[in-house]
Structure 1
Amino acid sequence: MDHRTPVRRAARNAVLALLVLTTSTGCAGGVEGTPGAAGLHDPYFPKLGNGGYDVTHYDLALDVDAPARRLRGTATITARATQDLSAFNLDLVGLTVQSATVEGRPAAVNRAGHELTLRPDADVESHLRKGRTFRTVVRYSGTPQTITDPDKSKEGWLRTADGAVALGEPTGSMAWFPGNNHPSDKASYDITVTVAKGLTAVSNGELASRATSGGTTTYHWHVAEPMASYLATVAIGRFDMKSSTTPDGIKVFTAADTKVAADSARVLARVPEVVKWEAERFGPYPFSATGAIVGRSGDAGYALETQNRPYFPGPPGTGLLVHEMAHQWFGNSVTPESWRDMWLNEGFATYAEWMWEADKENNPVQGRFDAAFEDDDNWAFPPADPPTAADISQAPVYGRGAMVIHKIRQAVHDDKRFFALVKGWTRAHRHGNASTADFTAYVERTTGKDLTKLWNTWLYGRSRPASEG
C-alpha cells in the first residue's frame, strides 16, 4: 500500500513520465530515436563517415573567391535514414557553419574536430524514421584547408597559381563540403561553382550549364551515377577546354591549364582510344562522361582517379592515363567497401598498365610480373593488409596487387575465361561497393577452383616465395 499523499504521488508520476520520455527520445520533446554513429570504424580511418543514414544526393553550390582564397558554400544533402534518428553527424573540417536546417526547420549544430553534429527540430521527427528520406541544408564559409595525409601527401583544398584544386583521397573532401566522408556511401551530385569571369571551374560528370553575369561565371556540373566523396573534385583556373563525343555516345571533356595545354594535347587526344581499349577488357564504360583535368607540375604531388575525369599534375604519360582511366571501373564504379580494400583499385589499375604495354608496346605482361616479383618494395607487407593508414598507397598495394591479378589469370589458363571473369566482376558490382572477401569468393565461385594457396601466398603472404611459380 502506498502511504504517500496524492500530491507526492502526482509529483512522482510526473517525474517518471519525464524519465520515460527522455529515455525513449534522447531528450524531452525531441525526436524518437538515437543519434547516428560519429564514425564507421574503418580499419584505417575509424572516425571517417557517419552512421544512421545513407546519402542519395549532394547539391553543392560554391562561390569561390580564388584570389582571396575564400569559399562560401551551401550543401543540400538528401539522405535516407537507416535507423530512427535523434541526431546525426557530417564530416567537415575548418570551415565555419552559418546555419543548418533539416526539412526546412532549424537544427542545433555542434562542432568537435571534423565532426559536425546536427540535432533536428522535434517537428521533423517523422522524417527521421528508419526508411524515410530527409533533406539537410548547411550554409558555411571560410578558407578551405589543405590536409596532410598519414603518408605526408597533401589533399583537400590545394592552392594553385591561379586558383585551386580539390582532391579527396582518402579524407580530403571534408575540406570543402560537409558529407558522409567514406567510400561506402555513394551518391549522385550536382556541383555548381561561381568564379571570377575569366576563370574556369571544372568538376565531375557532365557540364549542365555555364552562365556569365557581371563579373562572374557559374558552372553547373551534374553527376548522375553514384560517386564516393573522395572522388569528387573541383579545379579552378585558366584552362584550355575541349569537348567531343565518342561513337558510343560517351561525352569527352578535357581541361588543361593553359601553361601546359600544348604539351598535354597529344596524350589527351588518346582518351577515347584508352576508354575503348579498356571497355573491351573490363566491360562497358560505367559512366556517361569521361575526360581529364591537367594542372601544372607541382599543383599536386600525385595524379588521382577523380570520377569521370582524372586529375594530373602536369602532362601525363600514356601509361599513367591508362592507369587512372582503369580506375573508372576499379575504384570509381566498383568502389572499395573500406580503405583496407584499396588493392582492388590499384592492383587492377596497375595490371591495366601491364596489359597496355603488352598490346601496344610488345612488352609482355610476364616481364612486368617478373620485375615486380624481384622488387623488394612489393614485399614490405601483404597488399590486402597494410600495417597502417600511411601504407594504403604504398608499393605492395600496386605492384603486388597486380601480381595477384596475374596469378588469377594464370590459374584460369584461358584469356577468354579470364576476361569474362573480370567483366562479370565489374557488372556484378557496378556503381556499388565490394570488399576483398567479396572478390575472392567471386573468383572461386566463378572458376570453380579452391584458390586458398594463391590468396595465402600472393594476397596475404608476408614473405616472398622461393619462386614465382
Structure 2
Amino acid sequence: MFKGFKITVVTATIALLGSVTAFAQRPITFADTLRGSVTPARAWWDLNYYHLSVEVFPETQSLKGTNLVRYQVEKPGETLQIDLQEPMKITAASQNGEPLKVEKVGAAHFITLRKEQKAGEINEVLISFEGKPKVAVRPPWDGGITWQKDANGKDFIANSNQGIGSSIWWPSKDHPADEVDSMLISVTVPKGLMDVSNGRLINVKESKSTTTYDWFVDNPINGYGVNISIGDYVHFSEEFAGEKGALSMDYYVLRDNLEKAKSQFKDAPRMMEAFEHWFGPYPFYEDGFKLVEVPYLGMEHQSSVTYGNKFANGYLGRDLSGTGWGMKFDFIIIHESGHEWFANNITYKDVADMWIHESFTNYSESLFLDYFYGKKAGQEYVRGTRANILNQSPIIGIYGVNRSGSGDMYYKGGNMLNTLRQILYNDEKWREILRGLNKEFYHQTVTTQQVEGYISHQIGMDLKPFFDQYLRETSIPTFEYYFSEDNTLNYRWNNCIPSFNIPIDISLGENNVRLHPTVEWKKLEVGAPLEVQVDPDYYVSTLKIR
C-alpha cells in the first residue's frame, strides 16, 4: 500500500504522516504482543487452506459467515489462536462436528481442542462469525470496510486492511509469518451486484435474491491481501505474452467508467512488461492478474489489485516527485501492482520489516520510467522524491508487537536502493539481483537479515554498515572534504555510524573518481584544488568544510 506524503504539494497527506508517527509512538500493549508475535498458540500449527464463506448485507453494513481453517500439526498443541477484531464476533467453533470452547482476549480467540493433535496430521477447525465490521474512515490507511453507493445508487463496497489486519473483518491467523497455501473465497451478495476477490472465478451460484461468487486462490497469500470488492461491475480483459506464457489480465470497473478504464488501464500491460524485465516473471500466473475499481485509492491485494485513482495519471493527478516524470503513468496501477513482487511474492515475517514491501515498490516506480523513458528519467524521478523524506525515525519498526517503522520506508527506502545501484555500478548485475530476490524468495515470508544477506552476497560487499545506517538510523551520511595547503584532497564520512564505509563516486575537475571514505580522514594527492561534485544519485549530503 502507498502511504504517500509530499510536504510542498500533497498537503492532505500530512495528516497521514501524523497517523503513521502516532501509531509508531503509542505505548505497546499486551494486545500488540498477541497480534504481533508468534505466540505459543500460533507456533505449533502451519496454515494449509482456508475456505472463507461470507455473506454481505449492505443495508445493515454487516457480514455473516464461516471460515474453514485447515492446518498441519508441526508439534503437539492444545490451544489454537484465531484473531477477530471487535465489533465482529466469533459465534461458534468446531472440529469434526464437535463444538469447541473459545476464550476471547481482545482480538485473540483461543480455541481449546478436544482431539489429540499429532505431529504431521492435517486437521480442520470450522469457525462461524458475524457482525458489523469497523467502517474505514480514511481508506486505505485507516483500515476496515468502505460502504458507498455509485453514481447510479448501487452499492459499492470494499475492504482495505494492511495495517489493521485481516482480522478486522474475518477470522484468521492474523500474523504475516504464516501464509495459507491456497484458499477458496465464497462471497454472497444481493442480486444485481458482483463480488471480485483474489484468484480465479470458478463458480457462480444464484438464488432468488442473492448471487454467490466462488474465487479460488492457487498460490500462498498473505492475510491482508485477501479482499472483497463489490459493485455493479463490467468486465473486459486481454492476454499478456509474459515470460511464463500467456497471462490473463482482467479488469472490473463500474458500468459508467468502462470507456475511461479501457484507455487508462493501458498502463497495466506496460507495467507487466517493465516489471517482468526488472523483477522476473509475474509471481501468480495460475491466479491471473486483475485490476478492480474500488471506492478508495487502491491496495495491493494479491492477483486482485484495487484501483481508485480517478482514471488519471500521477497520484490523484499530482506528481509526487515534482519532476514531471510522475505524470507519465498512473501511480496506483504502477505502485500497487509492483507489490505483486514485493509484498505478495516476497512477504515480511514481521511488520517491523515493512520496508521490504514499500522500499522496493517505491523504487519500482523509477524502474518503470527507466524501462520506458530511459535511465535519466528514472534517476530524476527518484531524486525528486527526496523532498518528501523526513528522517525523524528509523525505517525498521519494533519486532514482535505489530509495529512498523516510519513512512520514510517509501522515499528514503527507494533512494537507498538507488544508492546501492550506484555502488554496484553494473546495471545488468543490479537487474539480476532484483530478479534473483524474487527467485530466491519465491512465495516466501522473509526477514530483513535474509534480504540484506542476499544483496550483500550478490554485490560482494559487507553491506551491514550500509543497511544499519539507512534502515536503523535517521542521520544521512555527509561526505566532508577540504583541500590542504599542499593541494591534497582530504575526505571522510561524517554524521553516520562509526562503521559506515561505502564507496562514493565523485567528479574531480574533469575526471571521475571512486573514493573509499571511512569516518577517518583520508588523503588523495591531486596537485590543485579542483571542483568536487558527488554523484547526485547517491543519497548522501556533501559539505566542503574549508
What is the TM-score with the length of structure 1 in the denominator?
Answer: 0.83
- 2:227 aligned with 1:221: no
User: In the TM superposition, what are the counterparts of 1:320-331 in structure 2 within 5 Å?
Assistant: 320-331=332-343
The one-letter amino acid of 2:123's match is: F
Q: Is the 8 A contact 2:359 2:411 kept in 1?
A: yes
Cα distance in 2, alignment partners of residues 416 and 154 from structure 1 = 40
Q: Is the 8 A contact 2:141 2:163 kept in 1?
A: no
Match of 1:32 in 2: none
Give a deviation string over 1:38-92, Cα, whole Å, max 9, x none. Answer: 98948x9459993332211110111222223232201111011233111111001
Q: Aligned pairs, how many? A: 421
Cα distance in 1, alignment partners of residues 451 and 185 from structure 2 = 33
Cα 1:368–1:271 change in 2 (3 A) is closer
SS at match of 2:170: coil
Q: 1:341 aligns with which of 326, 348, 353?
A: 353
Note the C-alpha offset of 1:290. Answer: 0.6
Identical-residue share of aligned pairs (%): 22
Note the C-alpha offset of 1:376. Answer: 5.9
Q: 2:100 aligns with which of 103, 107, 117?
A: 107
Cα 1:40–1:52 change in 2 (3 A) is farther
Cα 1:329–1:135 change in 2 (3 A) is same
SS at match of 2:203: strand
The one-letter amino acid of 2:134's match is: Q
Cα distance in 2, alignment partners of residues 84 and 397 from structure 1 = 39
Q: 1:277 aligns with which of 274, 277, 295?
A: 274
Moved more, 46-55 or 185-194: 46-55
Moved more, 303-312 or 227-236: 303-312
Q: Is the 8 A contact 1:40 1:50 kept in 2?
A: no
SS at match of 1:450: coil
Note the C-alpha offset of 1:458. Answer: 2.5
Cα distance in 2, alignment partners of residues 113 and 437 from structure 1 = 32
Q: 1:96 aligns with which of 80, 89, 94?
A: 89
Q: 2:307 aligns with which of 292, 295, 312?
A: 312
The one-letter amino acid of 1:174's match is: S
Cα distance in 1, alignment partners of residues 111 and 397 from structure 2 = 35
Cα distance in 2, alignment partners of residues 464 and 384 from structure 1 = 15
Match of 1:244 in 2: 238
Moved more, 426-435 or 442-451: 442-451
Cα distance in 1, alignment partners of residues 465 and 254 from structure 2 = 49
Cα distance in 1, alignment partners of residues 231 and 355 from structure 2 = 33
Give a deviation string over 1:254-296, Cα, whole Å, max 9, x none. Answer: 111234444333222332231122011101110021121112x
SS at match of 1:306: coil
Cα distance in 2, alignment partners of residues 219 and 435 from structure 1 = 36
SS at match of 2:220: strand
Give a deviation string over 1:15-46, Cα, whole Å, max 9, x none. Answer: xxxxxxxxxxxxxxxxxxxxxxx98948x945
Note the C-alpha offset of 1:145. Answer: 2.2
Note the C-alpha offset of 1:393. Answer: 7.3
SS at match of 1:286: coil
Note the C-alpha offset of 1:176. Answer: 2.3
Which structure features the higher share of helix residues? 1
SS at match of 1:246: strand
- 2:441 aligned with 1:452: no
Cα 1:205–1:224 change in 2 (3 A) is same
Note the C-alpha offset of 1:385. Answer: 4.0
Moved more, 324-333 or 153-162: 153-162
Cα 1:389–1:269 change in 2 (3 A) is farther
- 2:434 aligned with 1:432: no
- Aligned residues: CA RMSD: 2.8
Note the C-alpha offset of 1:222. Answer: 0.6
Moved more, 342-351 or 110-119: 110-119
Cα 1:380–1:365 change in 2 (3 A) is farther
Match of 2:366 in 1: 354
SS at match of 2:215: strand
Match of 1:291 in 2: 290
SS at match of 1:89: strand
- 2:138 aligned with 1:138: no
Moved more, 345-354 or 251-260: 251-260
Give a deviation string over 1:348-394, Cα, whole Å, max 9, x none. Answer: 11111112223334553332343344x26342223234799898475
Gaps of 5+ in 1: 1-37
Cα 1:104–1:184 change in 2 (3 A) is same
User: In the TM superposition, what are the counterparts of 1:116-135 in structure 2 within 5 Å?
Assistant: 116-121=109-114, 124-125=115-116, 128-135=117-124
The one-letter amino acid of 2:169's match is: W
Cα distance in 2, alignment partners of residues 276 and 78 from structure 1 = 37
- 2:429 aligned with 1:417: yes
Cα distance in 2, alignment partners of residues 152 and 244 from structure 1 = 28
- 2:121 aligned with 1:157: no
Match of 1:255 in 2: 252
Note the C-alpha offset of 1:407. Answer: 1.6
Note the C-alpha offset of 1:99. Answer: 2.0
The one-letter amino acid of 1:217's match is: T
Q: Is the 8 A contact 1:168 1:229 kept in 2?
A: no
Cα 1:258–1:394 change in 2 (3 A) is farther
